[in-house]
Amino acid sequence: MGLTKKKFAILMYLVLGWIIFHMGVAYFDDPMRFCIYDGNCVMVQDGCCPCNMMGSNTVISMGYREEWNEKIPINCKGVGCLAAISHHPSCYSEPVCESFTCKLKPLT
């Protein structure tokens, strides 16, 4: 017997319920950065300019990536970016999940 979608959903609700009960709601202050493991986190452009145009990155939960990326052209209409590589630490980092929160970890 395999793990069906329904069983998986029930299991996830139980796990999340346990986390909320034992850890408190403080971990859920920012649902856009909530995670359970590293694979839940993705790096996205932070602001109007990407790293290859003097910008920076941030990290969010994978489920918010499409919504995040759709807002950039709307919020950044008419903004120009410099054609130069950014040296911001976020441009040289990887997304990780620490204490149920997506964070950027600098590459070594």
Task: Please indicate whether residue 60 or residue 26 has the higher confidence score (pLDDT).
Answer: 60
Decide if 41 is inside a domain. Answer: yes
What was the pLDDT predicted at 103?
95
Decide if 2 is inside a domain. Answer: no
Query: What gap in Å lies between CA 18 and CA 7, rounded to an integer?
Result: 17
Task: Classify residue 4 by its DSSP letter.
Answer: -
Domain span including residue 98: 30-106
What three-state secondary structure class fits 84? Answer: coil
Decide if 77 is inside a domain. Answer: yes
What was the pLDDT predicted at 55?
95
What was the pLDDT predicted at 7?
79
Decide if 67 is inside a domain. Answer: yes
- Residue 23's pLDDT band (boundaries 50, 70, 90)? low
Into how many domains does the chain fold? 1
Query: What does pTM read for this prediction?
Result: 0.70
Burial zone of 72 (CB within 10 Å; 0-12 exposed, 13-18 middle, 19+ buried): middle
What was the pLDDT predicted at 95?
97
Decide if 7 is inside a domain. Answer: no
Decide if 43 is inside a domain. Answer: yes
The encoded tokens of residue 14 equal: 């139980």
